[in-house]
Chains A and B, each alone.
Chain A
Amino acid sequence: MSTNIPKRRVVITGYGMITPLGKNTEETFQNACEGRSGIDYLTSFDTRGLPCQIGGEVNNQWIEESQSCISKRLDQFSSRGLRLMMASTAQAVRQARLDEIVDRDRIGVSLGSHGDNPSVEDMMFLHRFYDGKGNWDMKGLMQAGGYSYLQFFRRKPDASTSILSLTFGCRGPNLSIVSACAAGAQAIGEAYRMIQDGTSDVMIAGGCEATLNFAGFVGFVLIKALSAKYASPQKASRPFDRKRNGFVMSEGAGVVILEELEHARSRGVPILGDLLGYGDSADAYRITDTHPTGEGAILAIRAALDDASLRPEDIDYINAHGTSTIQNDLTETRAIKEVFREHAKNIPVSSNKSMLGHTIAAAGAIECILTVVGMNNSIILPTINLQFPDPKCDLDYVPNEARKCRVKRAISNSFGFGGQNACLCIGVFER
C-alpha cells in the first residue's frame, strides 16, 4: 500500500493433488462434485481401543503408480508425505510445462509439511539398546544394523523441501513452512510474495501431510480433537452441522505452480487462475483454543482483501477452513460475519473437509486448487453431512449438493491449531 512500485502479478499455471478422494485433481474434484466422502476405517495402523478409528487414507496403489519421477535413491529418504507431494508435483509440473524453462535459478520451492512421526516399531527397536539410565548399547545397536539415518531424514520437514527441489531441478528460493493447518496456504502465500517482489519468477508451492500412524494420531486423540461419535466413517466430518464433534484426520498433498504473469505469457502456457491476495496472522491467544470472537481469523481475511485491493462485497465464494470442530466452525462463522457484514448471508461458504477430512499441512493447498477448479467450471463444491443446522452457524454453507454458480473472486481460509491463520484471495484469470 505504501509503495508506488506496482507489484508483479502472480498467476497459477499448474496444479496437482493426491487425496483420499482421488489420485489427481480431476478425480478428486469429480468425486467432490458428487458429494462423496473419502473417509473410512483406518488400515494403516491398529486402531483397536482408540476412541476414533477413522481417517482419510490415500490409496497406496495410486502412490506406487505415481513414483516414476523419483529416483529409487531419493525415494529412500522420502517420508510418506513427501511421496504424496512428489506425485502431486509431477502432475503440476507437467501441466505447467516447467521442464521447458531454462533458467532454473528463478524457480523456487515453498512447502508446508511436518515430516514423518517415528513409528512405534522404530521406538521399540531403539528401546532394546537403552537401559533408561543414560546408557546406550551402541555396539549392540550397530550389530543389529544400526538405526537407519534414513529415518532421520524422513522426520525432517526441511529434507522434503530439499528433495523436492533436487527432483524437479529448482535452484531458486527454498522455503520450508511448519504451521500445522495453515501450512499449505502459507506456503502458497509466501511463494506468491516472493514472485510479487521479484525474488523469483516461478514457485512450486503447496503442502503435504501423512501422519496416519499411531504416533501422529494419538496426540490428536489425547487432546480430544478428533470425532469420536459417528454413525459411519463417511458421516463423521460434518462442518457447521449441530452434531459435529471433532475433525477427521486425513493425508494428502496439493501443489500449485505460481508464475509471474509476463513470464507465463512469454511461454504461452495456459493460465488457470489469478492469485490476488494473501493475509496471515496469529491469534496470540491460547495453545489450542481459537480466539472466541475470531480476532486472528478476521485479521487474516481483512489482510488478504486489502492485499488484493478488494472490498468484502467483491467476494463471491468462501472456501472455509470448516474443520467440523465446535470451536472452529463457530469462530469462523463469527469472523466471516464480522468481515463481510450484511453481505455475509449472500456469500456461499463451503467446507471441502466434509468430504476429504482434514489433511492438515496439505489442506490449504488442496482447498486453494479445488476453489480454482470450481471457479473455472462455475461449480461450488458442497458441504456434505449438513443435516442438522446449527443456529449459531447461520450462513449459506452449500449443504450436501454442489451448486452451479459463477464465481469471479473467492477466498480460501486456513486456520491453524495454534492460532496461525492464513487466507488466500483467488480470482478467475482475466486479461
Chain B
Amino acid sequence: MKLPKSKADHDDPDYVNCPGYKNVNTGWWDGSQIYGSSEAATAALRGQHPDGKLILTEEAGGIFLPRDPDGNVLTGFSNNWWIGIEMLHTLFALEHNTLCDMFRKSYPDWSGYVSRLAF
C-alpha cells in the first residue's frame, strides 16, 4: 500500500520548528465539495447555463453527475469516491438545480451567476 506524503509548506521560515501544510481546499464550510475550490472550477461545473445551474447528464435510468473520459466524476471535490458519497453529491447538485428553477420563476430579472446553496 502506498500513501502519498503531505508536502511541507516552506512559505514561512519557522516550518523547521513547527511544520505547516497547505490546504488545497477552502477551509470554510462553503459547499466547495459541490462548487470546487476555485472560481475556474465553479465556472467549469456550471457550464454556460444562464441560470447558473450545475451540469448534469441525463442517461437511461436517471440524471447523473458528469464524468470525464476515464470515468472519474466531475464535481467540486471527488477524492475517496464511493457510492454513498456519489448519492449525496448527486442529491445536492439536483437540489441546486431545482432551486435555480425556483428562483428563475420567482425572480425573472435576476442574474443567475450568484446562485449557490448556503450551508
A and B are interacting partners = no
B interface, CB within 8 angstroms of A: none
A interface, CB within 8 angstroms of B: none
